[in-house]
Amino acid sequence: MVDVRLNATINGRKVSRDAKPHLRLLDFLRDDLNLTGNKEGCGAGECGTCSVFVDGVLMKSCLMPVAKAQGAQIDTIESLAKSGELSVLQKAFHKAGASQCGYCIPGMVMAATAALRANPFADREEIKERLGGNICRCTGYQKIFDAVELARDVQNGRVPATALLETDTADGEVIGKNVRRIDAPSKVSGRLKYAGDMTMPGMLHVQVLRSPHAHARIVSIDTSAALAIAGVESVITSADVPGKDGFGVFVHDQPIMARGKVRYVGEAIAAVAAEDALTAKRAVAAIKVVYEQLAPVFDPDEAMLQGAPVVHDYAPDNITKHIPIRVGDVEAGFAESDLVIEESYSTQAIEHAYLEPEAGLAYVDHDDVVTVVSPSQNITHHRHMLARIIDKPISKVRFIMSPVGGGFGGKEDMIYQGMLALLAMKAMRPVRLVYTREESIISTAKRHPSRTTLRMGVMRDGRIKALAMRMVCDGGAYGLSTEGVMRKAAILAAGPYNIPNVRIDTYGIYTNNTPSGAFRSFGALQTQFATESQLDIIAERLGLDPFEIRRINAMRDGATTHTKQTLGSVSLMRALDAAEQASGWEAGAPTVRGGTRGDLGHDDVRPSVTLGTRFAATGTQEAAE
C-alpha cells in the first residue's frame, strides 16, 4: 500500500510526513510522532483516553483513520502544558486528587477542557454529562468532578488561583494533610511513560498466538511458515523454556505458554517477535497448530462430580483449594435457634478493566541480566518464578515495575512476562508486547464467580447462634490466586460478629473458563455480600433495625474471631455509629419502608438523572411536557 503524505498542524507545529494508510490517528501520533501522552485504552471509542482535539472538536483518535486528519489542526494532551506549565484545569486535577493510576487522565483532561470551553459556567450535573464518554476505573469520578468545578471557579474568578496551590505544611505537621499527589503533574500532562509508551533502540514487537479451544490436546505446532516471513526474528513455544515451567501466586500450575494441552480460550500457545507489530501478526497467523479436542467442563459444580473432565492431572477432583472454618457445634446451634433462614446467593465474574491493557518490555542487559519492565503488581515474586523458568540465578533476573495504569489485583499474575523474557533471550534484542483490550479481557484473570448457600440461626432477640456457609467458586483453568481468595473469603465470611457456632467451606474449582484470580476485596466481597444481605432478611423477620441487629452481634474490643484469634481494639461500633449519624438514618425494621421514610433526599444526595432532560429543559420545553 502507498503511504499517505499527511500535512497537518499538530500542537501548533506544521507536520508533513508519510504515514502508513492503515494507521489510526492515535497510532500516527503515538508511534510516528512519539506523542504518547494520549493513551490507547480500548481501541473502540468507548473509554476516551485517546481523546484529542481535531479542529477544536473533541475526537477519539482511535476511531479516526490518519488520512482523515489531512489539513487538520490537531491538539493532543501535550499541547495543554506549554513548556511544562500546567493549565488551570491540570492544576485543579493535581489539587483535587483527581488522578490515581493516571491512565485515563489525559483523555479526561481533554474532555474536561472541552466541557469548560463549551460552557465555562457548567454546573456539576452538566460536567458529568460532558465527561460521559470517558471511563475512569480508579477514582469513582468524584474528585474529577471536584477538579473541573475548581478549575471552572478559578477561571471565572469566583475563587482565587491560590486555591490551586499546595497544602500548607509550614507548621511542620505533614501527616493528616492533603498534600498534593507527587505523581500527578506527570499524569495530568501525559508525560508519564507507561510500558506501552516506552521504546528501545532495535526493539522488536511481540504478538501472541492464542487458543481458540477451551480444552484440547496440542498434537503439534509448526512454526516454520512463520519463521520464513521476512522481518520475523524469533518464534517461541513451551518447547523453548529452558527451566522448570510454571507460575501462579500459590500453585505454579500455569506454563508461560500452553504445554501439551490448552485449558481455556485465549491461552497463549506461541509468541512471535518481529520488526513491526503487523509482521508479527502475520507470523502468528502462519503458525499451524493441530489440536485434538477434549471434553471441556464449564460449571464448577459439574466439575466436582465424579467422572467430570479433569483440567489438571494433579487435581483429579478439580478442587484447587478447599478452606474450612469450624467453631463450636453448628447443628446444635441451629437446633437452639428461634429462627433459621437459608438462602442462596451468586456473584458473577467481573473484569478488572484497568484502563491500561497489559504491556511490557524485556531485554538482556550488558551483565547478561534478563530484565522485564512491566506494570507488575508483584515484581518480587515474579523474579523468583522467572528465575526458575529460565533457569538462571536470581541475580540474573531483574523486574522493573513500570507505572501501573490500574491493577486491582489483575496485574499480580505473571501472565505474559515469561514470554517477553524468553523472546529477549532468544533474539538478544529488546522486545515489547502491548495487549489489545480484547486480549486483556479474554486472557487475564477475573473475579471468582461464586455460588453460596448460607444458613443462619438466630434467637428472637437478634443474637446469631449459628452460621453455615458453603461457597463454590469457579477458579477457571489455572490456579493463580484462587487458594488465597478462598482463604480470605472463608476467614471473613461470617462478618465481624460474635457467633458461637460456625461452619464455613469455600471451594475453588478448576474449569475450562477464563482463570479467576486476585481482584480487590479478594473473596471477602462474595461472602460478605451473602452475610450482610441475610442479616437484613433476618432483621425484617425479627422486627429489628438493621443497625440494631448488627450491634447486638458486633465484635467488641478483645473479641475472638472465627479463626480463634483474639483482637485488640475493634472499631466496628464506631463505624456503625458514624455511618448512622452521617446519613441521618431513620431507625426501623427493613420492611420495605422506602415509601414512608423521612430520611431521603438530603443535601448530600445527588439528584437522579434522566438522560436528555437537560436538553429538553433548555430547548423545547413543550415537547418534553
Residues 234-293 that bind another protein (CB under 8 A): 264-266
**Adjacent-strand bridge partners of 355:** none
DSSP at 69: G
Q: Does 177 bind another protein (CB under 8 A)?
A: yes
Alpha-carbon separation of residue 294 from 36, 291, 490, 561 (angstroms)? 44, 9, 33, 45
For another protein, which is the closer residue by CB, 29 or 373? 373
Scan for cell 456457609, then name that residue: 469
SS (H, E, C) 330-375: HHHHHHHCCEEEEEEEEECCCECCCCCCCEEEEEECCCCCEEEEEC
Residue 619 has a CB neighbour count (10 Å cut-off) of 10
Q: Is the dihedral of CA 93, 99, 102, 107 positive or negative?
A: negative
Q: Does 332 bind another protein (CB under 8 A)?
A: no
Amino acid occupying residue 452:
T
φ, ψ dihedrals at 206, nearest 5°: -110, 140
**Closest distance between another protein and the C-beta of residue 435, in Å?**
12
Which of the ranges 19-27, 78-86, 129-137, 218-226 carries the binding residues for another protein, by CB under 8 A?
A: 129-137
Of the candidate residues 220, 564, 618, 625, the single one contacting another protein (CB under 8 A): 564
Residue 436 CA to residue 434 CA, distance in Å, equals 7
What region does 34 belong to: left with phi over 0, alpha with psi -120 to 50, or beta?
left
Q: Does 401 bind another protein (CB under 8 A)?
A: yes
**Closest distance between another protein and the C-beta of residue 4, in Å?**
27
Q: Does 547 bind another protein (CB under 8 A)?
A: yes
List binders of another protein among 484-503 (CB under 8 A).
484, 487-488, 490-492, 495-496
Helix (H) or strand (E) holding 549: helix 546-553
**Closest distance between another protein and the C-beta of residue 288, in Å?**
22
Of the candidate residues 152, 411, 429, 448, the single one contacting another protein (CB under 8 A): 411
Kindly write out the interface string for residues 424-453 of this chain, putting x where it contacts another protein by CB under 8 A and - elsewhere. -------------xx--xx---xx------
Q: How many residues bind another protein (CB under 8 A)?
A: 162
For another protein, which is the closer residue by CB, 337 or 553? 553
Q: Are 416 and 210 in contact (CB under 8 A)?
A: no
**Closest distance between another protein and the C-beta of residue 550, in Å?**
5
Q: Does 625 bind another protein (CB under 8 A)?
A: no
Q: Does 304 bind another protein (CB under 8 A)?
A: no
Angle at CA of residue 621, ends 616 and 623, nearest 5°: 85
Q: Does 479 bind another protein (CB under 8 A)?
A: no
List binders of another protein among 36-75 (CB under 8 A).
42, 44, 46-47
Q: Does 590 bind another protein (CB under 8 A)?
A: yes
**Closest distance between another protein and the C-beta of residue 468, in Å?**
14
List binders of another protein among 193-222 (CB under 8 A).
213-215
Helix (H) or strand (E) holding 281: helix 277-286
**Closest distance between another protein and the C-beta of residue 266, in Å?**
8
Q: Rg of the chain's alpha carbons, rounded to an integer? A: 28
For residues 435, 441, 447 and 452, what is the CA-based torsion angle, rounded to 10 degrees?
Answer: -160
**Adjacent-strand bridge partners of 7:** 16
Of the candidate residues 514, 515, 542, 552, the single one contacting another protein (CB under 8 A): 514
List binders of another protein among 8-27 (CB under 8 A).
none
Q: Does 455 bind another protein (CB under 8 A)?
A: no
For another protein, which is the closer residue by CB, 17 or 541? 541
Kindly write out the interface string for residues 373-392 of this chain, putting x where it contacts another protein by CB under 8 A and - elsewhere. --x-xxxxx-x---------
Q: Does 182 bind another protein (CB under 8 A)?
A: yes
Q: Which of 439, 504, 506, 447 is nearest to 476 (CA)?
A: 447
Of the candidate residues 34, 156, 224, 344, the single one contacting another protein (CB under 8 A): 344
Helix (H) or strand (E) holding 277: helix 277-286
Of the candidate residues 37, 102, 196, 360, the single one contacting another protein (CB under 8 A): 102
**Closest distance between another protein and the C-beta of residue 193, in Å?**
14
For another protein, which is the closer residue by CB, 369 or 624? 369
Q: Does 317 bind another protein (CB under 8 A)?
A: no
Of the candidate residues 119, 533, 613, 620, the single one contacting another protein (CB under 8 A): 533
Burial of 410 (0-12, 13-18, 19+ CB in 10 A): buried
**Closest distance between another protein and the C-beta of residue 344, in Å?**
6
Of the candidate residues 12, 71, 120, 140, the single one contacting another protein (CB under 8 A): 140
Joined together, the cell numbers standing for residue 117 give 470551553
Q: Does 179 bind another protein (CB under 8 A)?
A: yes
Q: Does 186 bind another protein (CB under 8 A)?
A: no
- Max intra-chain CA distance, the chain: 83
What region does 83 belong to: left with phi over 0, alpha with psi -120 to 50, or beta?
left
